[in-house]
Structure 1
């Protein structure tokens, strides 16, 4: 049976995001999430994670939103200590030191570990860990913390990679026209939503370990004012907690799991680590 990880990005972004993720786990099919160490909802997310130990929690490494955890004296941040936005990243990345990025991401992981979060894996906000110029940094993080990381290939216009990652394939579960259409209620659009879900899953049927990336959230002021991707996240909660979604997954032959249960003994990860030593 194929393994399916349903992972919510942005745990810690805000209280509303945290509440949406917990709702999707407690009353739905969400198995995993990744936690941001530098956001307004971080401490709340850490407490929530402790309350729901069956939710797998990884690190959601940040380089394009919020503040640095280590310094205001690097090119990673603006004069106020904020990371440069993703739209600015292509322009400013050449001024970044790889060591500064490595140190920042280590600080973020150390913060979560020091607060008692048993990490299952890591990925990154906006997939920056998988940008080609950051591959070596990602390898170093993986080796230092013995953590597997998300394969983001195919989600953005990235260059081809030459090394095996944690999952066979990552797909965005909800990024389709009807699911994103908030002009009508979920109940009115449900049939079309499930047609789109089935089409998305059909792209991953050859994967032994498939990750579906999701972004459930209840919209609070911080999310609404700081992210253009806000109201659509409510629809994701509806789908993730709908029993029909669980039935679809079962009918397709997937077994819901989290990163550590699916992959902790895989030969692929052992190969990655041996190749880095």
Structure 2
């Protein structure tokens, strides 16, 4: 086994709001990150798509979305006829547990496919599939089916990370192999709060990133973060806005840039993984 350490740095929630779009667009344009995940059900998706059309080399995954977690800022399914996916007002529910309890698997499949097709109609060259808030990983086989159909890799880890808690983890890894869908070796996500729950300084986020980088294992790891500008818009949407601003600053931090070089980590892209998968599927 190679000891090479590959790291995909992926900015989640592109399309969620203007403040997030501003941050992710800047990071992509400056080469701070090459990878992002797009929420096509959100109000600001067209702004994100317009940027991506002008920057076709960016990695763009479909951030399949089945939850709408903010109190006063909501979105729902593309197919409004899928009744098990929505609350009484037609929005996605706020939490993953409600999706697991109420959403019919075939409606999840139909809506996820609709979100992929919508992104393709926008002219986006998708590089991978993942899921907002982990709301449909209880039916990972549906995501794997879609990955097989659209020839895309999946955010799901084989060796470490939260996906090892999946009750059918080994079964899903085997199914991915049978379908020719490539997965991560390891998965990491920066924390939104401290265990104590108090407000945290930038140093908390920076130390979390340093810990991940210094302890990166051989193989392919994805590190997910949620950058945004700390505008009045974002502050009205979520009280996680300080952390999101910290994460916007993080990978432009000279200490983090130097550490990635010092640790001899190769920054990889989902596009590389997708292209490898497609070359394997065509042989």
TM-score bin (small chain): 0.7 to 0.9
CA contact (8 A) 1:31 1:256 kept: no
Give how far 1:177 is off: 4.4
Hey, what does 2:246 align to over in structure 1?
235
- TM-aligned CA distance change 1:257 to 1:222, over 3 Å: same
Hey, what does 2:214 align to over in structure 1?
202
Hey, what does 1:71 align to over in structure 2?
80
Q: Does 1:212 align with 2:223?
A: yes
CA contact (8 A) 1:28 1:242 kept: no
From 45, 50, 56, the counterpart of 1:47: 50
> Which deviates the most, 35-44 or 45-54?
45-54
CA contact (8 A) 1:77 1:84 kept: yes
CA contact (8 A) 2:227 2:244 kept: yes
Number of paired residues? 261
CA contact (8 A) 2:225 2:247 kept: yes
Give SS of 1:123's match. Answer: strand
- TM-aligned CA distance change 1:92 to 1:108, over 3 Å: closer
Q: Does 1:141 align with 2:146?
A: yes
Query: Separation in 1 of the partners of 2:242 and 2:133?
Result: 19
CA contact (8 A) 1:217 1:237 kept: yes
From 59, 63, 69, the counterpart of 1:60: 63
Hey, what does 1:21 align to over in structure 2?
24
Q: Does 1:166 align with 2:183?
A: yes
TM-score normalised to the size of structure 1?
0.83
- TM-aligned CA distance change 1:6 to 1:252, over 3 Å: same
Hey, what does 2:114 align to over in structure 1?
107
- TM-aligned CA distance change 1:158 to 1:203, over 3 Å: farther
| Aligned-pair Cα RMSD in Å | 2.9
Give how far 1:55 is off: 1.9
Hey, what does 1:250 align to over in structure 2?
261
Give SS of 2:184's match. Answer: coil
Query: Separation in 1 of the partners of 2:8 and 2:247?
Result: 16
Give SS of 1:75's match. Answer: helix
- TM-aligned CA distance change 1:50 to 1:183, over 3 Å: same
Q: Does 1:128 align with 2:128?
A: no
Query: Separation in 2 of the partners of 1:9 and 1:193?
Result: 16
